[in-house]
Amino acid sequence: MTLSLVLIIVMAVLIAAGVYLVLERSLTRVVLGVLLMGNGVNLLMLSMAGPAGLAPLVIDGVEAEQYSDPLPQALILTAIVITFAVSAFLLALIYRSWRLANADDVSDDADDVALRGGEVTLPMEETAPDEGDTEFPLEAEVAQGGPGVDATERVVIVTDNDSSSAPEGGGGR
């Protein structure tokens, strides 16, 4: 099958312009880039339909080859509507971003940037089996004349027996 060179070139330019915009940080430009790429892809599908033909409205006595290929057309039709739905969604994202952060740009992920700088410490559980010699630290404290806690009150379960002695966190040994 033959291809229309004009269609291919226009398609390539649309996609290139779309990619250029999508790589921007401004969300508005990103959405415009998505629109351009959408148009480019629709042209790609259209160019696969072959040369221009009759509109695919069945007329008696016309051979199937004479119509423009309806298959890519059906695909493009839904693609057009979906592109609109998706860009509406992206617009809502832009609006939301503007409302929340007064910004319509894609900023770097703060956690990832922090990780790159080595600032993130990894929380880590550690064992210290010899830490404490009883499951009942509060009772023991009371028995040894520690701070006045009602001995009948068994609050041991809700007490962190190492919170006072061990510093918080600790990123790896």
Partner 1 sequence: MLIVLTVFAVAAVLLPVLEKALGRKIFLVAALVSLGAFAHTILLAPAVLSGETPSETLTWIAQLQLTLDVRMDALSWMLALIVTGVGSLVMLYCSRYFGPRDAGLGRFSAVLLAFAGAMYGLVIADDVYLLFILWEATSVFSYLLIGHYTNRRASRGAALQALITTTLGGLVMLVGLVLLAVQAGSSSLLVILQTAPADPLTTTAVMLVLVGALSKSAIVPLHFWLPGAMAAPTPVSAYLHAAAMVKAGIYLLARLAPAFVVVPGWREVLIVLGVATMLLGGWLALKQSDLKLLLAYGTVSQLGFLTVVTGFGSRDTALAALALLLGHALFKSTLFLVVGIVDHETGTRDLRKLSGLGRRAPALALVAGLALASMAGLPPLFGFVAKEAVLHGLLSAAGGTQVDGAGAIWAAVALAGVTLGSVLTVAYSIRFFWGAFARKPDVDDTVLLAERGVQSRRFLLAPAILAVAGLALGPLAGVADGPIAQAAGRFASGVDEGEIYHLALWHGLGPELGLSLVTIVLGALLFFARERVGRVQSRLSTGVNASDVYWDAVGAVDRLAARVTSITQRGSLPFYLGVILVVFVGVTTAGLLIGDSWPAEFRLWDTPAQLAIGIVMIIAAVAATQAQKRFAALVIVGVTGFGMSAIFALQGAPDLAITQVLVEVVTLIAFVLVLRRLPAKLGDRHGSTHRVLRAVIAIGVGTTVALVALIAAGSRIHDPISLAWPQLAYEIGHGRNVVNVALVDIRAWDTLGELAVVIAAATGVASLLFLRGRGDAPPRLARGVVQRRIASRLDRVREQGHDGEQRGAWILAGPTLDPRHRSILLEVVVRLTFHAVIVVSLYLLFAGHNLPGGGFAGGLVAGLALVGRYLAGGRYELGAALPLGAGFVLGAGLVIAASTAIVPMFLGAPPLTSTYWEAEVWLLGEVSFVTSTFFDIGVYLIVIGLVLDVLRSLGAEVDRQGGDDQSADRPAYSIMTKGGGA
Q: Alpha-carbon distance 45 to 15, whole Å?
A: 13
Q: Alpha-carbon distance 125 to 43, whole Å?
A: 57
Q: Which is nearer to partner 1, 130 or 147 (CB)?
A: 130
Strand partners, 67: 54
Kindly tell me which residue out of 61, 160, 164, 167 binds partner 1, with binding defined by CB under 8 A: 160
Smallest distance, partner 1 to C-beta of residue 147, A? 14
> What angle do helix axes 70-101 and 27-47 make, rounded to 10 degrees?
180
Q: Alpha-carbon distance 11 to 5, whole Å?
A: 10
Per CB under 8 A, contacts with partner 1 among 45-74 are: 46-49, 51-59, 62, 64-65, 67-71, 73-74
Kindly tell me which residue out of 8, 61, 148, 149 binds partner 1, with binding defined by CB under 8 A: 8
Per CB under 8 A, contacts with partner 1 among 105-144 are: 105-106, 108-113, 115-116, 118, 120, 122, 124-137, 139-144
Report DSSP state, residue 137.
H
149 binds partner 1 (CB under 8 A): no
Residue 26 backbone dihedrals phi, psi, to 5 degrees: -75, 125
Per CB under 8 A, contacts with partner 1 among 74-103 are: 74, 76-78, 80-89, 91-96, 98-99, 103
